[in-house]
Structure 1
Amino acid sequence: MKKRLIPILLLLVLIVSACSSKVENNAESEKKEEIPETITYQSENGPIEVPADPQRVVVLSSFAGNVMALGVNLVGVDSWSKMNPRWQEKLENVEEVTDEDLEKIIELNPDLIIGLSNIKNVDKLQEIAPTVTFTYGKVDYLTQHLEIGKLLNKEKEAKKWIEDFKKRAQETGEEIRAKIGEDATVSVIENFDKQLYVFGDNWGRGTEILYQEMKLKMPEKVKEMALEPGYFALSPEVLPEFAGDYLIISKNPDTDNSFQETDTYKNIPAVKNNRVFAVNAKEFYFNDPLTLEYQLEFFKKAFLEE
């Protein structure tokens, strides 16, 4: 009898052991599934582990349009993005935050934070979620979008858009130059906080498209004063020296634009020849894909359908 019991007991022990092992393996598998996958992004400050599929991104400066263009969910954005009239619907349920709203950001439970290199509290933000910053102008505007694509694990999508956009912008540039002449000049100015600015070729407001892709010319005075720093502050009195044959005015509706009522402005050839195109500055500030697409369509209509 005892001899018969031993094999049965051994069999029971093996069954129980196998079941326990299966339960442990299942628990281990479930545990692995709960851990979100990460990728290593080579940031300008060194490698950083970030989510492979970010779901709750906070953008503290400049890059909200890049993130939205790549179909990644935002939970917090900067005030400049929030005030863009064209993004009101997209950002309706997204909180406005700054680099000092640490408690508010914690409540948003982000899995990734993005901003410019001059934001404050980077060390504290890194304790909340992986935080990646970029120095504005360190790379060109399209490479910047590619970097955002790499960060969000969407490099292929970013690269595809870049190639397509460059092609369309350059083709439009050829059409515009054929119409207005190869030597025609274009200036981009903006009135911000009671100060006039003229822009180079890499400071948003459509400058990247006009000068880099379309190869339109900027006046010599603009090239001399604004090309290297990106922008140059000027008084209304000297505006004629910086005005091209065509004038793009980035107008902030909340700012005093009375310079346009002066004789100095009215006597500028571009104004007298009805070659001034006004845009809403709040829609035109940035150089992300959403804004660039809007700028390209605007320039098509302004130059080719006038």
Structure 2
Amino acid sequence: MRRISIRQMVGLGLLLFVMAAVIAACSGKAEDHSRAEGERAVSGGKPGTKIFKAENGEIEIPTNPQRIVAIQFAGDLLALGVKPVGVGSLVLKNSEQLKDELAGVADVGDVSVEKVLELAPDLIIVPSYLPAEVVEKLGKIAPTVAFPWGGFAGSDPLEEVRTFGRMLGKEKEAEAWIARYKEKAAQAKQKLAGVIGPGETAASYEIWAKNLWVWDKNQRAGYNLFAMLGLTPPDKVKKDVFEPGKSRDISQEVLPEYAADHMFVTVYQEDGGGERAKELMDNSLWKNLPAVKGNRVYLLNLKQFWFSDGLSLEKQLDILTETILSVNQK
């Protein structure tokens, strides 16, 4: 038998080592390629994107958008620490409590496709009530996702914040904000325990030029009053407004049937709403309501209570608490 020299054995060992290294490297590259392909499949077929199921279908969006235009939902984004580059004019005109956070944000009208285009967004967020043809035009500028707009669509505000957190990869921020908001509500309940008794009722109302609204459990002051502070609506409000989940336009004559012990009132000033409110409050029917007689009517600024999204709700909770305490200290 032919003997193998030490030099040959060393050479053979080196050859086997090199071959093993090459095989391992090729295997690693194949594995990395397979992993990358899997990530692309999950994220929507392109690096840096993902598929998000919205009201307008499955939309491919960036995983880390930097320039967001939000026609609505500014309060949800701000709750997550995200400042949009542009919002709808309705938001800027009626979000007085968010004016500091929205300073410098561009007004894109209601809705100007041209103004949105100028901002070069990488993600556009719209309410589902926006006409389909407008959504289609916006979709040609950047990925556009549609959401049900707040309580009007029956969605829970906290779940709305969570959904935005999932979409933007900010789940931790969403949960941190929700925990902070709930803690603030718990503290407010303690402060108000001696002001609003356990058997007393509350409800939210709004006066327009030709309408008198009793709001459902999510609108205006409703979500904070009922979901967060745990207050109770009058039986008539619970039966006719809460159970169907729809705000109700009532006549002035039946207002006593819907009146609560504590009435939270906003006024839509446009088209003569301010004059109608003054006329109603000068009426003997209004003056004889138990809440009016007991000085338990809380007039709220509509521009601070227009929206029920994220940071709007948190700031409204502060305003409500201060207002209730202030009125009852007089």
Q: 1:272 pairs with 289, 293, 301, which one?
A: 293
In the alignment, which residue of structure 2 is the partner of 1:145? 161
Distance 2:235 2:60 in 1: 46
Counterpart secondary structure, 1:180 = coil
Distance 1:170 1:89 in 2: 26
In the alignment, which residue of structure 2 is the partner of 1:249? 265
Q: 2:240 pairs with 225, 232, 257, which one?
A: 225
Counterpart secondary structure, 2:140 = helix
1:90–1:212 distance in 2 versus 1, CA, 3 Å: closer
Identity %: 38
Counterpart secondary structure, 1:55 = coil
Aligned ranges 1:93-132 → 2 under 5 Å: 93-98=104-109, 100-120=111-131, 121-132=134-145
Count, aligned residues? 270
**Residue 76 of structure 1: CA displacement?**
2.0
Counterpart secondary structure, 2:300 = strand
**Residue 135 of structure 1: CA displacement?**
1.9
Q: Which amino acid aligns with 2:296?
A: R
Q: 2:68 pairs with 44, 52, 57, which one?
A: 57
Q: 2:322 pairs with 291, 298, 301, which one?
A: 301
In the alignment, which residue of structure 2 is the partner of 1:74? 84
1:69–1:36 distance in 2 versus 1, CA, 3 Å: farther
Higher relative contact order (CA 8 A, sep 6+): 2
Counterpart secondary structure, 1:41 = strand
Q: Is the 8 A contact 1:252 1:282 kept in 2?
A: no
Q: Is the 8 A contact 2:77 2:310 kept in 1?
A: no
**Residue 272 of structure 1: CA displacement?**
1.0
In the alignment, which residue of structure 2 is the partner of 1:159? 175
1:138–1:269 distance in 2 versus 1, CA, 3 Å: closer
- Asked if 1:281 is matched to 2:302, the reply is yes
Deviates more, 1:267-276 or 1:78-87: 78-87
Counterpart secondary structure, 1:53 = coil
Q: Which amino acid aligns with 2:75?
A: G
Runs of at least 5 residues in structure 2 that lack an aligned partner in the other structure? 1-45
In the alignment, which residue of structure 2 is the partner of 1:211? 226
Distance 1:252 1:197 in 2: 11
Q: Is the 8 A contact 2:216 2:222 kept in 1?
A: yes
Distance 1:57 1:303 in 2: 37
- Asked if 1:191 is matched to 2:191, the reply is no
Counterpart secondary structure, 2:65 = coil
Larger Rg: 2
Deviates more, 1:90-99 or 1:241-250: 90-99
Q: TM-score, normalised by structure 1?
A: 0.80
Structure richer in strand, relative to its length: 1
Q: Which amino acid aligns with 2:206?
A: E
Q: Is the 8 A contact 2:154 2:245 kept in 1?
A: no
Distance 1:138 1:219 in 2: 21
Counterpart secondary structure, 1:106 = helix
1:153–1:263 distance in 2 versus 1, CA, 3 Å: same
Q: 2:49 pairs with 38, 51, 54, which one?
A: 38
Q: Is the 8 A contact 1:99 1:119 kept in 2?
A: no
Runs of at least 5 residues in structure 1 that lack an aligned partner in the other structure? 1-34
1:71–1:164 distance in 2 versus 1, CA, 3 Å: closer
Q: Is the 8 A contact 1:246 1:270 kept in 2?
A: yes
Counterpart secondary structure, 1:189 = strand
